[in-house]
């Protein structure tokens, strides 16, 4: 019996259906698509649940920094302050507090670590605050989780889930900016941001990867966790010799020997 026609049909099915389906599933599960999905959900909630006359949403804001760029998911400008929103599309149980450098994601028996999103958003807040010349009470850091995740430890009020981020924004009822200041802030963001484009996003991702690589190759202080810098002893028996000193000196005086 000749099975070649069946084999050809099977090969056609694999080429035209299974392979594209596998590629599509891989793309949909990628961090990039998850990030876009999370940002889309936050954007839709904001547009429908926040009065557009009082709250002005600016999404995907990439700002230049001293060592590259920083990318903010959403900036919401209002008379009640400027809200800097970091979105996390993560599933599973979430453990962490505001002081931890890393938080834990647990899915059944598997656990993983990810950067504390409050620490991640701190750079966004400070970069934008400098650009807009805002006081601390005029700018708010806000983290919103979307997806199938559950907080298993108490979270600060500015770490929310889904609709909770709308509730947090509306909880700020004291006016800290005038109408003219709100208008000026929106203009400054528009003129200070990099043009939203695939090129801008690609260059930002490359910058982030470089920073991660630099951190992985850095010498870290075992006492406080800060980066160590190469120094040269100026006095004593070791004068002229190089050593690793904590960048947090004089708060932290830890050292490590240096070898070529």
Q: At 159, which helix (H) or strand (E)?
A: strand 159-161
CA distance 150 to 156: 14
> Sign of torsion, CA 122 124 128 130?
positive
Q: For residue 91, what are its two tokens?
A: 């599933």
Backbone angles phi, psi at 145, to 5 degrees: -95, 140
Q: Do 144 and 114 belong together in one domain?
A: yes
3-state percent breakdown (helix, strand, coil) of the chain, nearest 5:
40, 30, 30
Q: At 76, which helix (H) or strand (E)?
A: strand 68-78
Return the higher-pLDDT residue of 194 and 17. 194
- pLDDT tens digits along 120-166: 899 999 999 999 999 999 999 999 998 889 999 999 999 999 889 99
Q: Do 234 and 117 belong together in one domain?
A: no
pTM over 0.75: no
Q: Is residue 231's pLDDT more than 90? A: no
Q: Do 172 and 240 belong together in one domain?
A: no
Q: Do 40 and 116 belong together in one domain?
A: yes
Determine, yes or no, domain membership for 55. Answer: yes
- DSSP strand pairing (242-246 vs 228-232): antiparallel
Q: Do 51 and 140 belong together in one domain?
A: yes
> Sign of torsion, CA 39 40 45 47?
positive
Q: For residue 194, what are its two tokens?
A: 């990099």
Q: Do 160 and 250 belong together in one domain?
A: no
Confidence of residue 213 (pLDDT cuts 50, 70, 90): low
Q: Do 179 and 241 belong together in one domain?
A: no
- pLDDT tens digits along 70-107: 889 999 999 999 999 999 988 899 999 998 888 999 99
Mean pLDDT of 52-62: 93
Determine, yes or no, domain membership for 97. Answer: yes
- Considering its fold, how many domains does the chain have in total? 2
Confidence of residue 26 (pLDDT cuts 50, 70, 90): very low
**CB contact at 8 A, 103 and 200:** no
Determine, yes or no, domain membership for 23. Answer: no
- DSSP strand pairing (68-78 vs 56-65): antiparallel
CA distance 145 to 100: 17
What residue has token string 């998850």? 34
Q: Is residue 28's pLDDT more than 60? A: no
Q: Do 169 and 153 belong together in one domain?
A: yes
Q: Do 237 and 121 belong together in one domain?
A: no
The three-state secondary structure class of 174 is coil
Q: Do 239 and 194 belong together in one domain?
A: no
- DSSP strand pairing (139-146 vs 159-161): parallel
Q: For residue 206, what are its two tokens?
A: 């490359």
Determine, yes or no, domain membership for 8. Answer: no
- pLDDT tens digits along 66-76: 778 888 999 99
Mean pLDDT of 228-234: 84
């Amino acid at each position: 019996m000749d099975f070649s026609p069946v084999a050809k049909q099977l090969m056609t099915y694999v080429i035209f259906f299974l392979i594209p389906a596998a590629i599509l599933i891989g793309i949909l599960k990628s961090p990039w698509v998850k990030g876009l999905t999370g940002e889309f959900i936050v954007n839709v909630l904001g547009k429908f649940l926040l009065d557009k006359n009082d709250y002005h949403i600016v999404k995907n804001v990439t700002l230049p920094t001293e060592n590259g760029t920083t990318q903010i998911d959403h900036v919401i400008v209002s008379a009640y302050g400027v809200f800097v929103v970091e979105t996390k599309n993560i599933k599973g149980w979430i453990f962490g507090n505001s002081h931890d450098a890393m938080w834990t994601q647990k899915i059944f028996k598997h656990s993983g670590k990810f950067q504390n999103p409050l620490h991640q958003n701190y750079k966004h807040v400070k970069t934008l605050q400098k650009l807009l010349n805002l006081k601390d009470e005029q700018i708010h850091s806000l983290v919103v989780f979307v997806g199938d995740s559950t907080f298993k430890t108490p979270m600060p009020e500015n770490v929310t889930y889904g609709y909770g981020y709308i509730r947090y924004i509306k909880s700020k009822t004291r006016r800290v900016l005038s109408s003219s200041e709100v208008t000026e802030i929106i203009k400054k963001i528009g003129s200070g941001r990099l043009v939203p484009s695939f090129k801008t996003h690609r260059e930002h991702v490359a910058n982030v990867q470089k920073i991660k690589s630099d951190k992985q190759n850095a010498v870290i202080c075992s006492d406080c966790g800060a980066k160590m810098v190469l120094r040269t002893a100026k006095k004593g028996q070791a004068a002229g010799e190089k050593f690793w000193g904590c960048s947090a000196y004089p708060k932290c005086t830890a050292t490590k020997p240096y070898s070529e």
